[in-house]
Amino acid sequence: MRYPNIQTGDLLLCSGSGWFSKMIQAATRSRWSHVALVLRLDAFDRIMLLESVEPIGVRTVPLNQYLTNYDQQGHAYPGHMQIMRHRDFARQVAPDALATLGRFAVDRFGYPYDSQQIAEIAARITLNRMAPEMLDSLPSWPSEHQEAYICSEYVAACYRQVGLSVEGEHFGFVTPADFAEHPAIEWVQNLPTR
């Protein structure tokens, strides 16, 4: 199997080029606009990505699709990609906890992408620029009983199932930049782009 050093629990961070990606990148001052959770299935010779994408929602796709056929026309993902790892994942996550994470993640397949949350995120980004002191008075999310997710909130909710926390440092919600900047999350490797 390609990429023998990629493990279950790793993260794929991507830098997108769409309007929402650019908004998140600018607001967080980060190149990253998308995050997915890695599930390695050696028995099937696959590395799967668990993610929430607009407009589809929560799904799983093989990593190979990002590398070779992201647009269903034979092109790789149109941006930078890298694998990162929470250094406590392998140490702290027991097999039964991993099963809990897996059930939580899979039970949310088909949940919609949270379009309402996108509007709230845009409002929070605007508020941060105009009156940042007001952000603290806004309610935060997520809820474990959400029925729609953006990518970073989905991955953060999966991590919470195994006792790992990534908090929203920017606007009251978790962003891809929060994963990239977390002190316990480290670079593993860059992935090729075409």
In a domain, 34, yes or no: yes
SS3 53: strand
CATH of the domain at 186: 3.90.1720.10
Question: Considering the domain boundaries, does residue 114 fall inside one?
Answer: yes
The pLDDT of residue 117? 63
Whether 139 shows a pLDDT value over 60: the answer reads no
* Predicted pLDDT at 9: 96
- Provide the mean pLDDT of the chain: 84
Percent of the chain scoring above 90 in pLDDT: 51
Question: Over the stretch 15-42, which tens digit does the pLDDT of each residue have?
Answer: 988 777 887 888 788 999 999 999 999 9
Residue 7: predicted pLDDT: 94
Each residue of 167-176: b (16+ CB within 10 Å) or e?
Answer: ebebbbbbbb
90 lies in a domain?
Answer: yes
Residue 93's pLDDT band, with cuts at 50, 70 and 90, is confident
- 3-state DSSP call for residue 77? coil
Residue 3 lies in a domain: no
Task: Mention every residue, 6+ apart, whose C-beta is less than 8 A from residue 46.
Answer: 40, 62, 63, 64
- pTM for the structure as a whole: 0.86
What is the count of structural domains for the chain?
1
Q: Which residues contact 83 (CB under 8 A, 6 or more apart)?
A: 3, 6, 10, 11, 12, 13, 38, 187, 188, 189, 190, 191
Percent of the chain at pLDDT above 70?
A: 80
Overall average pLDDT of the 96-100 stretch? 89
Which has the higher per-residue pLDDT, 173 or 87?
A: 87
Range of the domain at 115: 11-191
